[in-house]
Amino acid sequence: MADIESVQSKVPLGRKVRAGLGALLALLVILTGVAIALVVNLSRGETRVKDDVPYTTAIASASLDAKSVANDQRGFLLTGDVMYLREADQRAADARREFAVAVQAATTEEQRGAARESSAGFDRWWTATRAEFATYRTGNKQAAIAASLGPDRELRKQYEESLQRTRSLGQASLQSATSWLPGSATRAVVILVGCLLAALLAGIVIAYWLVRQMSSPLFKLAAILTAEPL
């Protein structure tokens, strides 16, 4: 113990003060680094949510338009009203555009491939449906209706099944991102508070040590000045 005190007494006071201040600065840098890392991590989670939203929205819109086209198909084949043809053409164009948006907005190759597959399936069904319309308008109504209930119906089932898988991919990714964010935010707060408490405790210890190092020579000097002469 005496050897340690002897070594410490040989270290200049200025060097001790610089060491203590350096330790406090290091604590500040570490704490700042931890805070920045937590913020960056949360920012990535928010970015992931924002990236998933356009894909999911586009697929949902394409699904709605595709379903509306099927309703227009039935309406035309039942009534022969050309209004259904105009609406079907517009909604099919909207669905194609939304599929293209989904392909561009996909965040993974799996999503992109699923969107392309659904788009291709819808195009096959829509091409067959337009052929039904043409057949119907030539006067062969029964053949058009038979096609809609036979092979064309199978094409519709295929693209609807594909669309369901595509929609599930987007929803699963978005749900994963949104469920991760609150938990990550909670962990970030806990980690940051823990680091702050640890830094505060370490800062108190270092400050106490600095005060002792700086006051010790003063106490010794005061003791010498107040000592009675022999």
Q: What is the pLDDT of residues 74-103, one digit of tens each?
A: 999 989 899 999 999 999 999 999 999 999
2-226 CATH: 1.20.120.1730
Cα 106–chain centre separation: 13
10 Å CB burial of residue 25 (0-12, 13-18, 19+) is exposed
In this predicted structure, what is the pLDDT of residue 213? Answer: 66
In this predicted structure, what is the pLDDT of residue 1? Answer: 43
In this predicted structure, what is the pLDDT of residue 7? Answer: 44
In this predicted structure, what is the pLDDT of residue 170? Answer: 79
d(CA 146, CA 126): 16
Q: What is the CA angle 101-105-106, rounded to 5? A: 120
d(CA 102, CA 56): 8
CB 167 within 8 A of CB 66: no
- Look-up of token digits 């819109």: 61
**Is the pTM higher than 0.85?**
no
Over residues 155-175, the mean pLDDT reads 84
Mean pLDDT of the chain, nearest integer: 78
In this predicted structure, what is the pLDDT of residue 171? Answer: 76
- Report the range of poorest mean pLDDT among 35-39, 62-66, 108-112, 137-141: 35-39
In this predicted structure, what is the pLDDT of residue 10? Answer: 57
Over residues 147-157, the mean pLDDT reads 90
Every domain of the chain and the residues it spans: 2-226
The b/e string for 111-128 (b: 16+ C-beta within 10 A; e otherwise) is bbebbbbbbebbbebbeb
Residue 14 pLDDT > 90, yes or no? no
- Give the DSSP letter of residue 83: H
d(CA 192, CA 223): 45
